[in-house]
Amino acid sequence: MKICVVALGKIGLPLAVQFAAKGHEVIGADVSERVVSMVNDGAVPFPGETDLDVKLKEAVAAGLLTATTDTTAAVAESEAVVVVVPLFVDADGVPDFGWMDDATRAIAAGLRPGTLVSYETTLPVGTTRKRWAPMLEQGSGLAAGTDFFLVFSPERVLTGRVFADLRRYPKLVGGIDAASAERGVEFYNAVLDFDAREDLPRPNGVWDLGSAEASELAKLAETTYRDVNIGLANQFARFADTVGVDVTKVIEACNTQPYSHIHTPGIAVGGHCIPIYPRIYLWNDPEATVVRAAREANAAMPEYGVELLADAYGDLSGANVLVLGAAYRGAVKETAFSGVFPIVAALRARGANPLVSDPLYTVEELAAHGLPPHRGEPVTAAIIQTDHAEYRALKPADLPGLKVLVDGRRVTDPAFWTGVTRVVIGG
């Protein structure tokens, strides 16, 4: 097949490379000339994705992957179009479809009869049928489900391990009609491989969920579940702090029973997915009080971590406080909705002088994100925000003069921290 992948970001580019690795001819379309130029040179435009550098070079060298800024022309050459353009959500949970609207109009202008269009960006339920189908029809003069095929098939991967996750998890597909679903299933069977999994109710592979709406809801449901579960774990942890109980021992004990799957509490929930998709769900279902309460509980955790620090340290006015970790997740160079930003704000509100360090970021990169970089100044307090592996071996000698450490991720060894007050969330 000839396939167009629209948006060569941290999901789109690995997908394009995966499709090329299966022998298909792939055109990647992106609005960034820098990204397009790098991809055509076989260079990865962002760090941290396992095996992407090698696989990209192979695909480009084989002539199976090229990139362009002309989405319409790329679509016109393609039998299938996969869309992974970002969708943004504001603080009130209102989606901003601007970039996706622009991409959809460009796709429509090049759409030919018989083409499959698959949206992978997480969307509010009903968007594929009610927004994209009419827009594609208007721009192309073709009829959805008759002249071209339209499905929603959510990406279900984590950055850093995209290729492994593509094999590990079933590929969900939902069409606007049966013919679209059939084409979608056929397409993904031709571009993906799947690991055998005995734990699934049916064989791993491409699963037709019956409608675009079911597929849209499945993605929102699985990510919202995680936010709700983490919110519950954080509530347990905060209560455990008031009664002197170690919540990790409680959770470990609970999870020995097969119906308990309590997640891990922590100082922040970040990234492109978990903080955002519950808000998209709430846009569809504003009466979902459980979802709203969990999102509020998780959003309050950075402030709670600073509160724990102040309780142990005392007045933070003028204190140099080191925030360890700018990334939202360990080993991933990404600050999207990272807890570092509200932690820095909360420290400043208490009169502290926050400083930030992260093994993945240079001083200049931290400053470019609006974060005050640590340049070796002495610090008397610290908060671990990211679960980087480097922090597991952290000792008081690494931070001379430190009085209090709040380990928001429980990554440090308590045996190392004699002589310094070490505080964890949940006892």
CATH number, domain with residue 119: 3.40.50.720
Q: What are the structure tokens assigned to 233, written together? A: 């774990």
Helix and strand counts by DSSP (H, E) for the chain: 16, 15
Helix (H) or strand (E) holding 82: strand 80-83
Same domain for 307 and 205, yes or no, is no
Mean local confidence (pLDDT), 261-281: 95
Look at residue 111 and tell me if it is in a domain: yes
* Same domain membership, residue 182 and residue 91: yes
248 in a structural domain: no
Domain boundary residue among 219, 242, 272?
Answer: 219
Q: String of b and e for 31-59 (b: at least 16 CB within 10 Å)? A: beeebbebbeeeebbeebbeebeebbbeb
Same domain, 204 and 344: no
* 205, 314: one domain: no
Give the pLDDT band (50/70/90) at residue 92. Answer: confident
pLDDT of residue 91: 74
The mean pLDDT value for 120-144 works out to: 98
Assign 182 a pLDDT band (cuts: 50, 70, 90): very high
User: Quick one: pLDDT at residue 394?
Assistant: 97
Q: Is 238 within the bounds of a domain?
A: no
- 3-state DSSP assignment of residue 388: coil
Q: How confident is the model over 13-41, as a mean pLDDT?
A: 98
Domain that holds residue 327: 301-424
pLDDT on residue 227: 98
First to last CA, the chain: 56
pLDDT at residue 294 is higher than 90: yes
Residues 183 and 44 in one domain: yes
Are 345 and 198 found together in one domain?
A: no
Mean pLDDT of 198-218: 98
Q: What is the mean pLDDT of residues 384-393?
A: 97
Q: Is residue 245 part of a domain?
A: no
pLDDT value, residue 168: 98
Percent of the residues in the chain that have a pLDDT greater than 90, as a whole number: 98
Residues 40 and 175 in one domain: yes
Q: Which of 66, 121, 132, 50 is nearest to 331 (CA)?
A: 50
Secondary element (H or E) of residue 382: strand 381-384
Distance from C-alpha of 135 to C-alpha of 286, rounded to nearest angstrom: 26
Q: Residues 307, 174: one domain?
A: no
The per-residue pLDDT for range 400-414, each reduced to its tens digit, is 999 999 999 999 999
Per-residue pLDDT tens over the stretch 279-288: 999 999 999 9
Q: What 8-state DSSP symbol labels residue 130?
A: I
Rg (Cα) of the chain, in Å, rounded?
A: 23
What's the number of domains the chain is made of? 2
Asked, for residue 232, whether it belongs to a domain, the answer is no
pLDDT band at 90 (very low <50, low <70, confident <90, very high): confident
Domain boundary residue, one of 219, 238, 255: 219
pLDDT of residue 89 exceeding 90, the answer is: no
How far is it, in rounded angstroms, from Cα 137 to Cα 31?
A: 23
Instruction: Say whether both 172 and 39 belong to one domain.
Output: yes
Q: Mean per-residue pLDDT for 63-68?
A: 98
Which of 166, 195, 219 marks a domain boundary? 219
pLDDT at 204: 98
Residue 402 sits at the vertex; the CA angle it makes with 397 and 406, to the nearest 5 degrees, is: 105
Is there a domain that residue 249 lies in? no
pLDDT for 88: 86
* Residues 305, 208 share a domain: no
For position 272, what pLDDT does the model report? 87
Residues 27, 133: one domain? yes
What pLDDT is recorded for position 424?
Answer: 98
* Confidence check: pLDDT of 53 > 80: yes
> 326 and 206, same structural domain?
no
- Mean pLDDT across 107-122: 98
pLDDT of residue 93: 81
Q: Give the tens place of pLDDT for each residue, 351-374.
A: 999 999 999 999 999 999 999 999
CB 137 within 8 A of CB 113: no
